[in-house]
């Protein structure tokens, strides 16, 4: 169940990042409110995941999902540039998160 909470937290980080961008520095009311609501829900789900997973893996996966997802959203839907090095960097990021996850399973807590 903690991995589901973590996945939800990461996906919601993408959502709140989008609305944070749309709020124009918290100057537009509706996107600002939506961003704040999703930030609270996202961090609540992260907190639930961290109870079992530990802070190292949970936070790395959370930020990795958010970082990669937000970058992909920007490239696909918001017209941000796509480059070879941007894609390579995202793959390295995801590889590092996978490495953390794989080393965590065999360790005692």
pLDDT digits over 11-64, tens only? 999 999 999 999 999 999 999 999 999 999 999 999 999 999 888 889 989 999
pLDDT digit string (tens) for 54-95?
Answer: 888 899 899 999 999 999 999 999 999 999 999 999 999 989
Residues 73, 91, 101, 60: is their CA dihedral positive or negative?
negative
Note the pTM of the prediction, 2 decimals: 0.83
Residue 8's alpha-carbon distances to 12, 25, 38, 48, 97, in angstroms, are: 6, 25, 11, 11, 17
- Going by the DSSP 8-state scheme, the letter that residue 93 receives in this structure is H
């Amino acid at each position: 169940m903690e991995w589901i909470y973590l996945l939800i937290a990461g996906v919601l980080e993408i959502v709140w990042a989008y609305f944070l961008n749309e709020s124009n520095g918290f100057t537009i009311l509706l996107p600002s409110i939506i961003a704040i609501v999703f930030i609270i829900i996202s961090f609540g789900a992260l907190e639930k995941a961290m109870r079992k997973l530990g802070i190292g893996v949970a936070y790395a996966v959370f930020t990795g999902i958010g970082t990669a997802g937000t970058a992909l959203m920007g490239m696909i839907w918001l017209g941000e540039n796509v480059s070879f090095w941007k894609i390579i960097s995202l793959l390295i990021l995801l590889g590092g998160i996978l490495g953390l996850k794989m080393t965590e399973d065999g360790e005692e807590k």
